[in-house]
Structure 1
Amino acid sequence: MEEVFVAMKLVFSVAVVGILSWIFYVYGNLWHESQRVRKRLQMQGIKGPPPSFLHGNLPDMQRIQSQAKAASTSNSNHSDQFLAHDYTATLFPYFEHWRKQYGLLYTYSTGMKQHLYVNQPDLVREMNQSITLDLGKPTYITNKLAPMLGNGILRANGLSWAQQRKLVAAEFFMDKVKGMVGLMIESAQPLLLKWEQLIESQGSATAEVKVDVNLRGFSADVISRVCFGHSYSKGKEVFSKLRSIQKAMSKHGGFLFGLSSFRDKLKHFSSNKQNEIAGLEKEIESLIWELVEERKRECSETSSSEKDLMQLLLEAAMTDQSLGKDFSKRFIVDNCKTIYFAGHETTAVAASWCLMLLALHPEWQTRIRTEVAELCPNGVPDADSVPLLKTVAMVIKEVLRLYPPAAFVSREAYEDIQIGNLNVPKGVCLWTLIPTLHRDPDIWGPDANEFKPERFSGGVSKACKFPHAYVPFGLGTRLCLGKNFAMVQLKVVLALIISKFSFSLSPSYRHSPAYRMIVEPGHGVHIIIQKI
């Protein structure tokens, strides 16, 4: 018996040594390849922080983040001064720390993955206008986003992305979006009525509102009506579950970096988070397909010529015979998930930032109110008057400059590629930090940190030195397909709110931008409303 035990112990020891040897061999090769790529970048004059073995610059990033968190203090001042504080120094302090050291182009690594920080305007333009399919979304990020977005257009790369863009893009052209204005106005009515009733119920001239919650409901209702031809109530579960996935994924460390510490990985996989996310993913897909099937039955029973977005996408997918039935179903479900999240969450957050800044600047509320009264029939925007709302457009553009919901433009080189005079090796991920680009005094002038919508009076081309440095919706071939939809929706809801209410920032508002896959108000936006 003792001999058997010794033999088993020996076999186990050999197995452990073998596994460890294999791990070190794999990691050694990956490390060697990472260093080779880093050297190719350095030979082009690109500098960056020296990496540690296996972990790269992750320990530095974690240390800098901890220091920034310890140094940050709660700021309850409602003056414009807090807007001069660049929140990237709090949310992404390592990028700011290295930018001051190495400039607008530098390299760093997360474990075995090599990255390029690219904030030079000329390179940003070249990167975003590249038409090669060898440059796409970073795979390690898109893999993590799969539960939320499936393989929809926001996550897809290569030929899959090209096929989906061809099918989806036409449904968001401005002529189609203008036809959605009536639905947007219908969706806003419950919000306006709720605020009116809130003021009345309190028996005073004013009431405090946490607007981000209400704006999520409005935006979700718009998406439900546009996608499925019915109100928010039927799609409520989908939005709720997507929000739960978003929160669960945002809490998981290493989402951006591509590699957590080993302890974080063990903690993550030993928890129920993975199972929770997988369960939510299945439930969302099932709910969406139930809505699709229900809508198909409704359409077969009516002779209405009005088609919602889901019907148009389904027809587009079915028309292309080369794609097959399985692709059609997957295409519909995944892109509904994408539209639900990207179309609802980012627009609601942008609207919240708009109301926060307008609360600080009541003179712009007055200007918008005057414009809406002059251009909109009975003070209500329609398809013809929305494009004429120039003041509203200027405010929205300035808000998206200071508080773009998307913090990054990110790409990965699937093959060696040339961007301008830069040779990017295969596997390198490129990152452009949008808020830093949007607040650069060399691009926007000395008032870059100030809220000045008038800078857009002559359009983006006259607002700054390099128009291609304004990228709230991205640039080039991967420009956000929902740009027209988002802009029209923001114009409609702002015009309706401001024509009925004046508002100021509540004393309970805490300015604390937070990164939860998008940059949103960490504690919500509280305003004091008064009926006009």
Structure 2
Amino acid sequence: MVASTEMMSILVSLICVVIVTGFIRVVDWIWLRPKKLQKMLNQQGIYGNSYRFLFGDLKDFSLLRNQALKTPMTHFSDDYFRRVEPLRHQILSKYGKDYIVWLGPIPMIHISKPELIREAFIKTNEFTKPKVNPVFDKLFPGVVSYEGEKWAKHRKIINPAFHMEKLKLMLPAFYESCAEIINKWEIEVAEMGSGELNVWPDLMKLSADVISRAAFGSNYEEGRQIFELLKEQTNLALAIVQSVYIPGYRFLPTARNRRFKEVENQIHNLLHKIIKKRKKDIDVGESPKADLLGLLMDSNAKEIQQGVGSKANGNFGMSLDEVIDECKLFYLAGQETTSTLLVWTLLMLSKHRDWQVRAREEVIQTFGSSVPDFEGLSHLKTVTMILYEVLRLYPPVMQLSRRVKQDTNLGALSLPSGALFSFSVISIHRDMEIWGNDAHEFKPERFAEGISKATKGNNSFFPFGWGPRICLGEKFALAEAKMAISMILQRFSFELSPSYVHAPMTVMFLQPQHGAQLILQKL
């Protein structure tokens, strides 16, 4: 009886120790550590709103964003930061270019100095991709979320698919997808010779079709289910990340969590079916196809063979699930990046019709009425200047983030392990100290002598990231955009419709909230 009582006493003591230890850790996470970090950053001259228990700035973020989305801009201005990032605009206006935003109990340090951004991009071992919420790893899987040896292995395997000579093989897919949309527009304006169209849905369909053909050899109709599911998953992810991240919460069977998991499984199964069929074709002797999936599978097979042949230790190549993750990344990033670049380019050329005329003259001089070829596309100087300027003013991704792996310095800043910092792409792309007093104006001529000259040698233009982790799909996106813009300019002139409402918004990527209504005139 005495022994039993002693055992019960020990058990109760252990439970109390666990509870007290857990309580101390929770208090440290939601109050002591944030207050300590706030003091540390303030001492280095970086300020923001004072930390508020548990939620930080998240409530203000949601409130201000929802208010902004209710009201479009009164006129077509390229200075839209206040609308798409109202909280950050508010904090920046009060505390300067370098400031803190509280993501719950986690401070996000916003850095504006190009030399610090360059250093952070280069030091990939010290500054890694952030793990703010595991939902992002599900939404953006694959090489974009990996670190260290795994990232290096995947990058090595994927690289061959994006070489310039491989892109040439994908040009017919670009052309077929563009031709379908342009023929559709011609039919819609045929009767009157001109007409108003909301081009945004068609441009999303165009880029979806391109990535389906170029990545998987299929067309948009076959890939549409995956795109619809990705769109739903993106909206679910946004709703999840706008609340405080609580470790383990994603495993609770809430309606949102259950649906996110269901969508994830459906996407996985659809991609698995595509890849399994392709592997079966290769196994019976068919040559790998010259699309992204075919090139990826071929490169992966060679990597596996080299690994086995060398008898090296470790895993060889990618697993089936890892190939599926890379394909999902192809789908989401490939479609969103190019569709947003295209829509803002058409809107800017509608607003600045002198540049539309100049671009058309260059396209006609280069191709006449013939199908654009790779060599000609690579020499379109005016079109390239326009695309760069659109990417400067309307970058697809508004900010890039990094995580401090261990206590270290970034320039003169002392950063603790686990700290997060980000670079506001839109703010740096418009910094008057770098770009001049006309930083908010559409002036493609600033890129006439290339990016380095335009940025005065600063690391201040990075719509696709920079350094070792620069986006692999940059050349793919620009080649697709040049093909689409060239073919549109060959067939149409266009201007803004009176019904167009300028309302940029972010849903992961920068989009026109109410569409892009243009008046197209058949040439």
Q: What is the TM-score when the length of structure 2 is the normalising length?
A: 0.88
2:197 is aligned to: 209
Q: 1:434: Cα distance to partner?
A: 0.8
Task: For 1:95, give the aligned amino acid.
Answer: R
2:383 is aligned to: 392
1:297 is aligned to: 280
Question: In 2 relative to 1, CA 25–352 (structure 1 residues): closer, same or farther, beyond 3 Å?
Answer: same
Taking the aligned partners of 1:394 and 1:93, their CA distance within structure 2 comes to 30
Stretch moving more, 460-469 or 419-428: 460-469
Q: Is the CA contact 2:58–2:242 (under 8 Å) kept in the aligned structure 1?
A: no
Taking the aligned partners of 2:378 and 2:291, their CA distance within structure 1 comes to 22
Taking the aligned partners of 2:17 and 2:414, their CA distance within structure 1 comes to 39
Q: 1:420: Cα distance to partner?
A: 2.1
Q: 1:518: Cα distance to partner?
A: 1.1
Q: Is the CA contact 2:340–2:511 (under 8 Å) kept in the aligned structure 1?
A: yes
Q: Is the CA contact 1:56–1:111 (under 8 Å) kept in the aligned structure 2?
A: yes
Q: 1:126 aligns with which of 119, 132, 140?
A: 119
1:34 is aligned to: 34
1:8 is aligned to: none
Taking the aligned partners of 1:280 and 1:136, their CA distance within structure 2 comes to 28
1:182 is aligned to: 172
Taking the aligned partners of 1:328 and 1:108, their CA distance within structure 2 comes to 38
Is 1:350 the counterpart of 2:341? The answer is yes
1:6 is aligned to: none
Taking the aligned partners of 1:21 and 1:62, their CA distance within structure 2 comes to 34
Is 1:69 the counterpart of 2:68? The answer is yes
Taking the aligned partners of 2:317 and 2:350, their CA distance within structure 1 comes to 49
After superposition, the CA RMSD in angstroms is 2.9
Q: Is the CA contact 1:76–1:509 (under 8 Å) kept in the aligned structure 2?
A: no
1:10 is aligned to: none
Question: In 2 relative to 1, CA 108–526 (structure 1 residues): closer, same or farther, beyond 3 Å?
Answer: closer
Query: Which consecutive residues of structure 2, in runs of 5 or more, have no partner in the other structure?
Result: 1-12, 308-312
Query: Which consecutive residues of structure 1, in runs of 5 or more, have no partner in the other structure?
Result: 1-13
Is 1:90 the counterpart of 2:83? The answer is yes
> What pairs up with 1:453-532 in 2 under 5 angstroms?
453-532=444-523
Taking the aligned partners of 1:253 and 1:129, their CA distance within structure 2 comes to 28
Q: Is the CA contact 1:147–1:277 (under 8 Å) kept in the aligned structure 2?
A: no
Taking the aligned partners of 1:74 and 1:37, their CA distance within structure 2 comes to 37
Q: Is the CA contact 2:154–2:318 (under 8 Å) kept in the aligned structure 1?
A: no
Task: For 2:203, give the aligned amino acid.
Answer: L
Q: 1:286: Cα distance to partner?
A: 0.6
Q: Is the CA contact 1:182–1:382 (under 8 Å) kept in the aligned structure 2?
A: no
Secondary structure of the residue aligned to 1:528 is strand
> What pairs up with 1:104-503 in 2 under 5 angstroms?
104-130=97-123, 132-141=124-133, 143-150=134-141, 152-200=142-190, 203-252=191-240, 254=242, 259=245, 272-299=255-282, 303=286, 306-318=289-301, 319-320=303-304, 321=307, 324=315, 327-376=318-367, 378-503=369-494
Q: 1:278: Cα distance to partner?
A: 0.7
Q: Is the CA contact 1:407–1:435 (under 8 Å) kept in the aligned structure 2?
A: yes
Taking the aligned partners of 2:477 and 2:423, their CA distance within structure 1 comes to 22
Task: For 1:83, give the aligned amino acid.
Answer: S
Q: Is the CA contact 2:126–2:406 (under 8 Å) kept in the aligned structure 1?
A: yes
Question: In 2 relative to 1, CA 346–128 (structure 1 residues): closer, same or farther, beyond 3 Å?
Answer: same
Taking the aligned partners of 1:269 and 1:404, their CA distance within structure 2 comes to 36
Secondary structure of the residue aligned to 1:248 is helix
Is 1:55 the counterpart of 2:43? The answer is no
Question: In 2 relative to 1, CA 306–50 (structure 1 residues): closer, same or farther, beyond 3 Å?
Answer: closer
Q: Is the CA contact 1:50–1:57 (under 8 Å) kept in the aligned structure 2?
A: no
1:421-451 alpha-carbon deviations (Å, 9 max, x no partner)? 2222111111111111111111111111111
Taking the aligned partners of 1:303 and 1:55, their CA distance within structure 2 comes to 56
Q: Is the CA contact 2:35–2:51 (under 8 Å) kept in the aligned structure 1?
A: no
Taking the aligned partners of 2:294 and 2:62, their CA distance within structure 1 comes to 47
Question: In 2 relative to 1, CA 175–280 (structure 1 residues): closer, same or farther, beyond 3 Å?
Answer: same
Taking the aligned partners of 2:327 and 2:207, their CA distance within structure 1 comes to 15
Q: Is the CA contact 2:143–2:154 (under 8 Å) kept in the aligned structure 1?
A: yes
2:8 is aligned to: none
Taking the aligned partners of 1:60 and 1:374, their CA distance within structure 2 comes to 52
Question: In 2 relative to 1, CA 239–468 (structure 1 residues): closer, same or farther, beyond 3 Å?
Answer: same
Task: For 1:45, give the aligned amino acid.
Answer: G
Q: Is the CA contact 1:288–1:336 (under 8 Å) kept in the aligned structure 2?
A: yes
Taking the aligned partners of 1:323 and 1:302, their CA distance within structure 2 comes to 28
Q: 1:129: Cα distance to partner?
A: 2.2
Secondary structure of the residue aligned to 2:197 is strand
Q: 1:230: Cα distance to partner?
A: 2.4
Instruction: Percent identity, please.
Output: 33
Q: Is the CA contact 1:153–1:161 (under 8 Å) kept in the aligned structure 2?
A: yes
1:11 is aligned to: none
Q: 1:310: Cα distance to partner?
A: 1.0
Question: In 2 relative to 1, CA 233–324 (structure 1 residues): closer, same or farther, beyond 3 Å?
Answer: farther
Q: 1:307: Cα distance to partner?
A: 2.6
Q: 1:328: Cα distance to partner?
A: 2.0
Q: Is the CA contact 1:121–1:466 (under 8 Å) kept in the aligned structure 2?
A: no
Q: 1:393: Cα distance to partner?
A: 0.5
Question: In 2 relative to 1, CA 290–65 (structure 1 residues): closer, same or farther, beyond 3 Å?
Answer: closer
Secondary structure of the residue aligned to 1:125 is helix
Taking the aligned partners of 1:519 and 1:100, their CA distance within structure 2 comes to 22
Q: What is the TM-score when the length of structure 1 is the normalising length?
A: 0.87
Q: Is the CA contact 2:115–2:458 (under 8 Å) kept in the aligned structure 1?
A: no
Aligned length: 501
Q: 1:147: Cα distance to partner?
A: 3.0
Q: Is the CA contact 1:27–1:54 (under 8 Å) kept in the aligned structure 2?
A: no
Q: Is the CA contact 2:173–2:210 (under 8 Å) kept in the aligned structure 1?
A: yes
Q: 1:62: Cα distance to partner?
A: 5.2
